[in-house]
A and B are shown apart, each in its own frame.
Chain A
Amino acid sequence: MDRAQGTRAAAASAQSDLLVARNVTKRFGGVTALADVSFTIRRGEIYGLIGPNGAGKTSLFNVLTGIYGPDGGGFDFDDRPLAGLKPNDVAARGIARTFQNIRLFANLSALENVMIGRHVRTRANVFGAILRNARTLAEERAIEKRAHELLEYVGVHSRANDLAKHLAYGDQRRLEIARALATDPRLLALDEPAAGMNATETAALRGLLENIRRDGVTILLIEHDMKLVMSVCDRVLVLDYGRKIAEGPAAEVQKDDKVIAAYLGGEVTLNLKGA
């Protein structure tokens, strides 16, 4: 699927806003990691978040998913504020994420990892677990079935019974996506999913992202692989030193002077920072 098609697909789906960030600010001691960042993600798009190292991308993820509370501003998800929600509540609301430094449940199997993702959409309690009534058993079967489907979907089904830590790096990244998808998210936030992947794997990842979007999940993507960002993202937000310096369609952002300066080093300080 090429980019033009992707854009059309996004345009075809509802143009309503899924996530609205209003003046999000986050400080760590004296360092301002995020300063007044505002943007809007529309339903059905793949929204890129780029910037040099230390620009505040991961901080933005952590504020969005409730790991940190913002020092100012906030997010509206699906027209309701996310303020004060804990990470598990955020996940329940429909935002799932992956981590820059993969955080799988290393000593559990790939299948179990994905099954854990179903936790938030299932109900069995202790009594159900102990008594194994018909409802619990049915739910367990459904969880396992869905987990298998998702492993198939991301392409690591052959490793379903291997411990997560024994999977190849690229497979771990995809397993993390499967685990996130298991929570039935409406927004999937991916933190550098292509990091450490070779060209073939990245190409496969691109296909996977397109499929996920086609199946109705909006994607927020932090990525350093510019080729991937430019080919898959509908719109891109550029952060530098915690500030938004550009936002718009990938092709336009690419030509933006400030973005070029931030990446290539218009100033000596930026050069050091971006290295």
Chain B
Amino acid sequence: MRSYLDVRGRPALAWVGVALVAAALVALPWVLAGIGTAWVRITNLAILYCFLALGLNIVVGFAGLLDLGYIAFYGVGAYVYALLASPHFGIHLPFWAILPLGAALACVFGVLLGTPTLKLRGDYLAIVTLGFGEIVRIFLNNLSSPFNLTNGPQGITLIDPFRIGDFSFATTQQVLGNTLSSPIKYYYFLLAVLLVVIVVNLRLQNSRIGRAWEAIREDEIAARAMGINTRNMKLLAFAMGASFGGVAGGMFSAMQGFISPESFVLVESIMVLSMVVLGGMGNVFGVVIGALLLSYVPEVLRYTVGPAQKAVFGRTLIDPEVFRMLLFGLALVLMMLFRPAGILPSAVRKRELQRRTDGG
């Protein structure tokens, strides 16, 4: 079994490529910081969205289950972190203890939601997950009384950043003569996590489990006839996607230091879904590209659409935020109509298959 990251076979060329990409990724935050620290933060959020999109990709792309409430799991993870590492309850657990807890709880929610609904047809699942997302949001908003669990719409503030011993991700410090700002620290951390997540995704896809998911996506009846326990496999996909969401939520909490139910609305679920669809459902690198595109393009629009309209019409006719949403909507419709396989052409998939046989 070989994956994209496998460089056996043509070592010299491949290593040069890997080294170049690695160097670029290491240098990136310093370049961005030159333009403005905001861009490092934007990049960090983009990486977080990659993470989320890859989690949803397991559910939607691999197993073909349309989950429209994905952001709820993100919310669960975020709140678990916020509650266990903030003055809200006065609990301050270390992040490496909370992240798995958040993942586990999100996973439990995923299984609870999936058990009754996964035997239903796909479009019902979509609606039920949508409803679930709304329920979670409503609860987050209202669980401030009689017992103040979530602090309602005000959200939770002063959430602890990641800390390893005395090394805090929230402070700026000097390392070897360079100023290491908080966003840059998080950048390297997120990048490392993202690499792990990409490898996990690729390995899952090229495994017995991944093939079973793809079989279910392609034809559930045939998959069952081949001995695949479709219910368990779907639950597994659902639970894994949910855990990814939970971990991402914890990181979001720590990075932002503040969360409120506003961050976990349907629009966010749809945004992550758009990333998966745009990049190509089931295609790991496509999904990463989709997530990066849909994270950066709106930011670029923010800095261009508004001023451009002012220059031409003298005032802002269409809010950049609205423009962004229109873009998402159009992306979903046009992708499905004209390029249902996503922006990365299927040649990538073919090449992958080709290489596999060369090796086998």
The answer on a CB contact under 8 Å between B222 and A117 is no
Number of interface residues of A (CB under 8 A): 49
The answer on a CB contact under 8 Å between A116 and B210 is no
Could you say which residues of chain A place their CB within 8 Å of the CB of B354? 161
Segment touching A, from B92-100, B224-232, B289-297, B310-318: B224-232
5 contacts between A and B (CB under 8 A): A67-B225, A105-B222, A108-B215, A111-B357, A119-B226
Could you say which residues of chain B place their CB within 8 Å of the CB of A132? 1, 203
Could you say which residues of chain A place their CB within 8 Å of the CB of B221? 67, 87, 103
The answer on a CB contact under 8 Å between A130 and B227 is no
A115 within 8 A of B: yes
Could you say which residues of chain A place their CB within 8 Å of the CB of B218? 105-108
Could you say which residues of chain B place their CB within 8 Å of the CB of A180? 226
B31 within 8 A of A: no
Number of interface residues of B (CB under 8 A): 32
Considering the complex, give the chain A residue whose CB is closest to the CB of B353: A161
Considering the complex, give the chain A residue whose CB is closest to the CB of B239: A126
The answer on a CB contact under 8 Å between B224 and A105 is no
B-contact bits for A61-85, CB 8 A (1 contact / 0 none):
0000101000000000000000000
Could you say which residues of chain A place their CB within 8 Å of the CB of B168? none
Segment touching B, from A27-35, A137-145, A219-227: A137-145
Cα A136 to Cα B204 in complex, Å, equals 12
For window 95-112 of A, CB contacts with B under 8 Å fall at 96-97, 99, 103-109, 111-112
B236 within 8 A of A: yes
Cα A111 to Cα B357 in complex, Å, equals 9
Cα A161 to Cα B353 in complex, Å, equals 6
Could you say which residues of chain A place their CB within 8 Å of the CB of B356? 111, 161
Ranked nearest first, the 5 interchain pairs of A and B with the lowest CB-CB distance are A120-B227, A91-B227, A129-B207, A105-B218, A103-B222
Residues of B within 8 A of A (CB): 1, 200, 203-204, 207-212, 214-215, 218-219, 221-230, 236, 240, 350, 353-354, 356-357, 360
The answer on a CB contact under 8 Å between B219 and A103 is yes
Partner of B209, one of A124, A137, A141, A160: A124
The answer on a CB contact under 8 Å between B360 and A144 is yes
The answer on a CB contact under 8 Å between A183 and B227 is yes
Could you say which residues of chain B place their CB within 8 Å of the CB of A143? 208
B-contact bits for A5-47, CB 8 A (1 contact / 0 none):
0000000000000000000000000000000000000000000
The answer on a CB contact under 8 Å between B357 and A126 is no
Could you say which residues of chain B place their CB within 8 Å of the CB of A137? 1
The answer on a CB contact under 8 Å between B1 and A140 is yes
For window 111-170 of A, CB contacts with B under 8 Å fall at 111-112, 115-120, 122-126, 128-130, 132, 136-137, 139-141, 143-145, 148, 160-161
For window 211-263 of A, CB contacts with B under 8 Å fall at none
Could you say which residues of chain B place their CB within 8 Å of the CB of A179? 226
Given A67-B221, A126-B204, the answer on whether A119 and B230 have CB atoms closer than 8 Å is: no
A3 within 8 A of B: no
Cα A144 to Cα B360 in complex, Å, equals 8
Given A124-B207, A130-B203, the answer on whether A119 and B228 have CB atoms closer than 8 Å is: yes
Cα A123 to Cα B218 in complex, Å, equals 22
Could you say which residues of chain A place their CB within 8 Å of the CB of B208? 118-119, 122-124, 128-129, 139-140, 143
Considering the complex, give the chain A residue whose CB is closest to the CB of B207: A129
Considering the complex, give the chain B residue whose CB is closest to the CB of A118: B208
Cα A115 to Cα B14 in complex, Å, equals 29
A271 within 8 A of B: no
Cα A111 to Cα B228 in complex, Å, equals 17
The answer on a CB contact under 8 Å between A117 and B1 is no
Cα A175 to Cα B200 in complex, Å, equals 30
A195 within 8 A of B: no
The answer on a CB contact under 8 Å between B226 and A183 is yes
Cα A271 to Cα B229 in complex, Å, equals 43
The answer on a CB contact under 8 Å between B228 and A130 is no
The answer on a CB contact under 8 Å between B225 and A119 is no
Could you say which residues of chain B place their CB within 8 Å of the CB of A99? 222, 225
Could you say which residues of chain A place their CB within 8 Å of the CB of B230? 88
A197 within 8 A of B: no
Could you say which residues of chain A place their CB within 8 Å of the CB of B350? 161
Could you say which residues of chain B place their CB within 8 Å of the CB of A106? 218-219
The answer on a CB contact under 8 Å between B226 and A91 is yes
Cα A183 to Cα B208 in complex, Å, equals 13
Partner of A96, one of B1, B215, B225: B225
Shortest C-beta distance, B268 to chain A (Å), equals 27
Could you say which residues of chain A place their CB within 8 Å of the CB of B222? 99, 103-105
Could you say which residues of chain B place their CB within 8 Å of the CB of A122? 208
The answer on a CB contact under 8 Å between B203 and A129 is yes
Shortest C-beta distance, B221 to chain A (Å), equals 6
Could you say which residues of chain B place their CB within 8 Å of the CB of A182? 226
Given A88-B230, A96-B225, A104-B222, the answer on whether A116 and B211 have CB atoms closer than 8 Å is: yes
Q: Supply 17 further A-B pairs (C-beta < 8 A) apart from A105-B219, A132-B203.
A: A87-B221, A87-B224, A88-B227, A108-B211, A108-B214, A111-B357, A116-B223, A117-B226, A119-B228, A124-B209, A128-B207, A136-B207, A140-B207, A148-B360, A161-B353, A161-B356, A161-B357
Cα A65 to Cα B1 in complex, Å, equals 33
Shortest C-beta distance, A118 to chain B (Å), equals 8
Could you say which residues of chain A place their CB within 8 Å of the CB of B203? 129-130, 132
Cα A116 to Cα B230 in complex, Å, equals 13
